[in-house]
Amino acid sequence: MLDATPLSEGWTLHHDGAALPAAVPGCVHTDLLAAGVIPDPFLGRAETEVAWVGRRDWTYETMLDAAPGEHEQTDLVFEGLDTAAEIRAGGQLLGRVRNMHRSHRFDVTGLQGPLSVRFTSAYTEAEAVRERLGERPNAYPEPFQYIRKMACSFGWDWGPTLVTAGIWKPVRLERWSTARIARVRPLVTVEDGLGRVELYVDVERTRVEAALRVTARVGDVRASAEIDGTSGVVRLEVPDPALWWPRGYGEQPLYDVELELLSEAGPLDAWRRRIGFRTVELDRSPDAHGSGFTFVVNGERLFARGVNWIPDDVFPSRITRERYRTRLTQAAEAGVDLVRIWGGGIYESEDFYEACDELGLMVWQDFPFACAAYPEEQPLRGEVEAEARENVVRLMPHPSLVLWNGNNENLWGFRDWDWESRLAGNSWGEGYYLGVLPRVVAELDPTRPYTAGSPWSGSWDHHPNDPAHGTHHSWDVWNRLDYAAYRSEVPRFVAEFGWQAPPAYATLRRALPGERLAPDSPGMLHHQKADDGNGKLARGLAHHFAMPEGGFSERDFDRWHYLTQVNQARAVAAGIEHWRSHWPVCAGTIVWQLNDCWPVTSWAAIDGDGREKPLYHELKRLYADRLLTLQLRDGELVLAVINQSAEPWSPSLTLRRMSVEGGVVAETSVGLAAEARSVALIRVPKDLEPVGPKEFLVADADGDGDGLRALHFPVPDREVPYPQPRFDVTVAPGKVTVTAHTLVRDLLLQADRLAPTASTDRGLVTLLPGEQVTLAVRGWETPDADAARAALYCMEPTR
């Protein structure tokens, strides 16, 4: 049998004659950080102090002993090298590589002595390609589109510029004889209650004449096939397989697939994966509203409740299996059922997709192209096809993977960002998105749909970001308008939209040690990467809240921090509630974004230290199977009862027109039935509509145990004469209870102010007079009522 030996020990990092211990997998920055050579680039403004690292060449070295022993051949296998490198072993040049997204294999049989991997600065490589192929436009002033590397290493509007190098994935020696499995391409289908698994096997040989065969097993089903030369296919049929479903629609049964390569002398190599049986289609049919974009899994049409995913660390080698599991479990617990892996990052590790398989999270996989015109000439073209072929086959076993997407925003950029005139006919990536990539997917993985980009209307017959056709990115709202503008249109599928807020207070305190925090303090500004980000935050607040004269200062920081968190949650709620209420015309939302790669003011629901912002808890409400929302439709106020569950829902609804002082002006009860996977609407009676700044409407669904509520205030907060909030606070181990004596709007316990380790299970809560809420608190060892009260924030009278 093939013998694999990890090659993770004994590495050193060399530069300018110095040698440091090196971790493999790892990267230059983490090695320098561990050695105390550089400060933590996440703290303060140290990012700028380490910029030199990305401009240098670096060499990793260890000793190699590739004696084959009892085997005929020894291969050196790098699962991932970041990025442009020359590999030498035993005094011989093994090869040169230039793609972070691929693995690399070299025959090193019998070689002994030093093994070195010399990395050229990614800047040097990218700038040389740019010089050769010509300038192409992009969204940021860095040359990320000229090298097949994680684009956001070069910085983004939420990320630091930390251009990495290193052996970022495992490396090993493989010793083998006669033949080894080079590739297994599994096609998994299900039709009429019969599951089919076709395993297309490619082998590499040392002995051409040897007779080879493969055997395979799925559960109790077994089959075998001969290898004809270097390839073969083994087919298995599984009767009545249990279907894999997205979370909320059913279970996630997974089947072990085991394949073995044999010669007459016995076993040579093995391949093992887990698969799931399910069908996935993308309905893009034209209709009266344009052309749709609806996921259909096992025949069930879905409203996708999604989040965008960026690399969870700017140094991806630090992301462990446990960290993936934690972050994706957070997503699932927030009601998410789809995760889009954004195109400026990476193809994630097996740990990511395995967690999604088990949690029932559908995966939308971008190919790594984002926000730039990409040259289509060599050396990039060959690398693009090679990486696509490798990763399509690598990820095919995962039932969670439901869509291949060609790029992020590049088709849109060509049309709207003044690229066409600047390109003057030069290649820019269209040949990848409409040629190479769909061809590779159709050839290798015909079981999954492909779309050319996001946003994309389906063809050049429509604007790439036309909300009536295909996928839509809604960024005018954040950049130029108030979030109320989300309600002005009904896109077919909203693949990106979002609103910024700073990270949790404890995250800021750790990231900016010793700094006196203010919205515009030096560290806060450094950890705000968006163009005019603070200006957009301020203008977004001004639409809704009374602003201090001259803006928020250091003295007002806590209030600014709270209000920006509220505004982020409300903005996302405005979009999702509106779009969900228009199902099935709108068939999904993907919030930008779930996570962060460092501590930063951003659109994330979970900050760079893993702390959950109020937006995260708001997503639990917004993405629940059942949701109430009050919406204006054609000038009339309606209550939408959204039921994405598998059972009909007939809630008993209470509508109360209330004054902000707490009195009930008018009240009624109504019944309304919402069928499974549907939305039901009811017109709010005229006498229940709130009038003026002192009134609001409350809709409650009683008797279902969920405590579902919708609120409608007819004017912005700055015009609402909120009473001075009065409430009692009691504490006990693991909980804080608040009892309201007045209207208490958007009450928020910032648990991390109690202790950096503390967290709570709730976000923003609105209490009517006499109502009570108990907030679970974890990680707080010494409960104290005064401390809890100091960590509670809510709406206050306008100052």
Peptide bond into 513 cis (omega under 30): no
Instruction: Read off the tokens for 160.
Output: 């630091």
Helix H or strand E segment including 784: none
Between CA 718 and CA 564 the distance in angstroms is 14
Reply yes or no on whether 251 is catalytic: no
Cα(first)–Cα(last) distance of the chain, in Å?
A: 76
Between CA 339 and CA 327 the distance in angstroms is 11
Cβ distance 71 to 175 under 8 Å? yes
Between CA 766 and CA 698 the distance in angstroms is 11
Residue count of the chain: 799
Cβ distance 403 to 587 under 8 Å? no
Q: Environment class of residue 791 by beta-carbon count within 10 Å: exposed (0-12), middle (13-18) or buried (19+)?
A: buried
Angle CA(374)–CA(375)–CA(381) in degrees, nearest 5?
Answer: 105
Q: Any idea of the CA torsion for 472, 475, 478, 484, to the nearest 10 degrees?
A: -40
3-state secondary structure of 799: coil
Torsion region of 779: left, alpha or beta (phi above 0 gives left; psi -120 to 50 gives alpha): left
**Backbone phi and psi for residue 129, each to the nearest 5 degrees, phi listed first:** -65, -40
Between CA 21 and CA 61 the distance in angstroms is 10
Cβ distance 344 to 367 under 8 Å? no
Between CA 1 and CA 175 the distance in angstroms is 9
Between CA 764 and CA 595 the distance in angstroms is 19
Q: Are strands 401-405 and 450-451 parallel, antiparallel or unpaired?
A: parallel
Between CA 548 and CA 85 the distance in angstroms is 54
Residues contacting residue 151 through CB under 8 Å, at least 6 positions apart: 144, 145, 343, 344, 345, 368, 370, 371, 372
Between CA 397 and CA 392 the distance in angstroms is 10
Between CA 638 and CA 59 the distance in angstroms is 65
Instruction: Read off the tokens for 165.
Output: 């190098």
Which residue in 358, 409, 612, 618 is the catalytic one?
Answer: 409
Between CA 466 and CA 458 the distance in angstroms is 10
Torsion region of 181: left, alpha or beta (phi above 0 gives left; psi -120 to 50 gives alpha): beta
- Longest pairwise C-alpha distance within the chain: 90
Place of tokens 């003011």: 601
Between CA 45 and CA 514 the distance in angstroms is 12
Cβ distance 725 to 796 under 8 Å? yes
Closest CA to 507 of 610, 593, 591: 610
Between CA 607 and CA 504 the distance in angstroms is 7
Residue type, 516: R
The number of CA neighbours under 13 Å toward the Cβ of 14 is 12
Helix axis angle for 350-359 and 321-333, nearest 10°, is 30
Closest CA to 372 of 426, 423, 410: 410
Helix H or strand E segment including 440: helix 437-444
Between CA 483 and CA 464 the distance in angstroms is 22
Q: Are strands 266-275 and 255-263 parallel, antiparallel or unpaired?
A: antiparallel
Q: Which residues are catalytic?
A: 409
